[in-house]
Structure 1
Amino acid sequence: MLKVVVWNENRHEQIDPEVREVYPEGIHGTIASFLGEAQFDVSTATLDEPEHGLTDEVLNQTDVLIWWGHIAHHEVKDEVVERVKQRVLDGMGLIVLHSGHFSKLFKTLMGTSCDLKWREASEKERIWIIDPSHPIVEGLGEYIELENEEMYGEHFDIPTPDELVMVSWFEGGEVFRSGCTFKRGKGKIFYFRPGHETYPTYYNKEVQRVITNAVKWAEPTKLPKPVYGNAKALELIKEK
C-alpha cells in the first residue's frame, strides 16, 4: 500500500472563518480523506509541527508527498526544504498543488522564479485535458469545469514541463499550464493548479480523481539507486 503524506501549512484555516467553513478539517484533512477512501495509507503534516512534520523518519517512509502552501512559504525552514528535495531526488513522488508553486521546495526543484499572473474574481475555470493518453487523467472527459476559482495566468515562469497534461482557460480570458509533470533525479513531480482556499475545489470528484491518479503515477520506481563516482571496469581493458 502506497504511503502518502499530505502537507499543508494550515494557516488560512486557523485565521480565516471563511476558509474554516469550507475546510473544517483543513485542506490537508479533506485531501487525506478522499485519498484514504482510495485505499492509500495516508497521514498528514503541517507547518507548526516540530520540523514541520517532515522528519527523516517520516520522509524515509513516504512514497508520495502532497504539498499545499500559500501565506507562509517563508516560514518553511531551509533544512527541511533540502531534506525533502533530497528525498525527491532519491525517488519520492511529489505533487504540488495550487499556490504551492511559490513554495521554496518547488522553486528550488524548478530552478526558476515560478511566478505568474493571478486574480481573485470567483470566475469560471475550464481545465482542458490535452493529453488524454496520460494516466493522471484516466477516467475523465475532455475537460473539468469549476464554476468559481482564482485565476492563474501565463506567463508561468517554470522550465518546459516534461509532459503538459492540462491547460486552463478562465472566464476573464487568460490561459494557464495547469497540469505539468517533471522528473528530478529518480523522483516524479506533478504540479496541479486548482485549489484556492475559499472555494470547495477539493470536494470536486474530478479534481479528486486527478490527485488520486497522480499519486499512483508518482509512485517510486523499484530500480536500485545509480552508483556514481570512480568505477571499476566491467570488462578487461587491454594494456596499450
Structure 2
Amino acid sequence: MNDIQVTVWNEYRHEKQNPQVHSIYPNGLHEAIAGYLRKDSRLKVRTAVLDEPQHGLSEEVLDNTDVLVWWGHKAHDEVQDDIVEKVQQRVLDGMGLIVLHSGHGAKIFTELLGTNTPSLKWRDDGEREKLWVVEPGHPIANGLSDFIEIEKEEMYGERFEIPAPDELVFISWFEGGEVFRSGCCYRRGTGKIFYFRPGHETFPTYHQPEVMQVIQNAVHWAAPTEGAEVTYGRVERDREHQASL
C-alpha cells in the first residue's frame, strides 16, 4: 500500500495577530494538525499557508496531494479564484478534501457544494459540545465511543444551509440546546469531501486526541481509491461488442 500524501492548509492569520490564539497554537493550527497526522506512518504530511506563493498550492503540490485538509476563517476572499479552480478540478479527479470548522465559508467548499456561503447560527462563548456518532459503522468513526465531549467550543446551530449530505456521521449538541450536522460526507466527481465542524481558533480543540482521531480517520477515508475508468463526451460504438450480441 502506497503512502497517502497529505497537505494541511491554513490561513495562518489568527495565530500571528491574536495573542490568545498564538498561545494555543504557537506554530499555527496547521502544524498542530500536521503534527498529529505525522504520527501515522502511512501518511506523508506537508503544510501550506495563505501567504505563500500560490497559497502554497502550486500544481506540483496539488498533483502530489492525495488528501487536502483545509482550515480558513477570516480571509476566504483572499484565496485566488484560479487556485480554487485547480483545487476543485483535483477533487473532481479524485483528491480527497477535508474542510474544518469555519472552512464552510471557503470558496472551495461553496464551489464544490454548489451553494453560497452556508448560513448558520453561531455563538463563541465557549460552551460544552457533545459530538454524537450517528453512523457508528462508518470508517470516519473508527475507534470512537458513542460521542466526543469537547469542554469549550464555539456553537454552530441549525439551520445549516448545505445540500443534504450523502452520509451524516456526527451531530453536535450544545449547552444552549442547539444541534448541528457536524460530520458531513459528499462525493463530487471521483473525489470525497468531509466537513467536520469543531475547531474554533480560540479553543484547544486540535489538541484533543478524539478530535484528531476523526481527522486521521477522515484522511484515510478520503484518500483516492482505484475505480472504474471514467470517460466523457461522444464515444464510438463498440463494434466487437455489437457483433457478439
Q: What's the secondary structure of 2:38's corresponding residue? A: helix
CA distance in 1, matches of 2:160, 2:84: 22
* CA apart distance, 1:235: 3.6
Are 2:147 and 1:109 aligned? no
Q: 2:71 aligns with which of 44, 68, 73?
A: 68
Q: Which residue of structure 1 aligns with residue 186 of structure 2?
A: 182
CA distance in 2, matches of 1:183, 1:79: 22
Q: Which residue of structure 1 aligns with residue 10 of structure 2?
A: 8
* CA apart distance, 1:233: 1.5
In the TM superposition, what whole-angstrom CA distance separates every residue of 1:189-229 from its partner, at most 9, and x where no partner exists?
00000000010000111001100000000010223541111
The answer as to whether partners of 1:4 and 1:41 remain within 8 angstroms in 2 is yes
CA distance in 1, matches of 2:55, 2:213: 27
Q: Which residue of structure 2 aligns with residue 157 of structure 1?
A: 161
**Structure 1 residue ranges, 4+ long, deviating more than 6 angstroms after superposition:** none
In the TM superposition, what whole-angstrom CA distance separates every residue of 1:52-87 from its partner, at most 9, and x where no partner exists?
000111000000000000000010000000110000
Q: What's the secondary structure of 1:88's corresponding residue? A: helix
CA distance in 1, matches of 2:133, 2:239: 49
Q: Which residue of structure 2 aligns with residue 89 of structure 1?
A: 92
State the percentage of identical aligned residues.
59
Q: Which residue of structure 1 aligns with residue 31 of structure 2?
A: 29
* CA apart distance, 1:115: 1.6
TM-score by length of 2: 0.95
CA distance in 1, matches of 2:201, 2:229: 38
The answer as to whether partners of 1:3 and 1:62 remain within 8 angstroms in 2 is yes
Q: 1:227 aligns with which of 231, 235, 239?
A: 231
Q: 1:41 aligns with which of 41, 44, 48?
A: 44
Are 2:200 and 1:196 aligned? yes
Q: What's the secondary structure of 1:45's corresponding residue? A: strand
* CA apart distance, 1:38: 1.2
Q: Which runs of 5+ in 1 are unaligned?
A: none
Q: What's the secondary structure of 1:28's corresponding residue? A: helix
The answer as to whether partners of 1:6 and 1:32 remain within 8 angstroms in 2 is yes
CA distance in 2, matches of 1:120, 1:230: 52
Are 2:21 and 1:19 aligned? yes
Q: Which residue of structure 2 aligns with residue 80 of structure 1?
A: 83
The answer as to whether partners of 1:90 and 1:225 remain within 8 angstroms in 2 is no
CA distance in 1, matches of 2:119, 2:103: 11
Q: In structure 2, give the amino acid aligned to 1:53.
A: G
Q: Which residue of structure 2 aligns with residue 127 of structure 1?
A: 131
Q: What's the secondary structure of 1:14's corresponding residue? A: helix
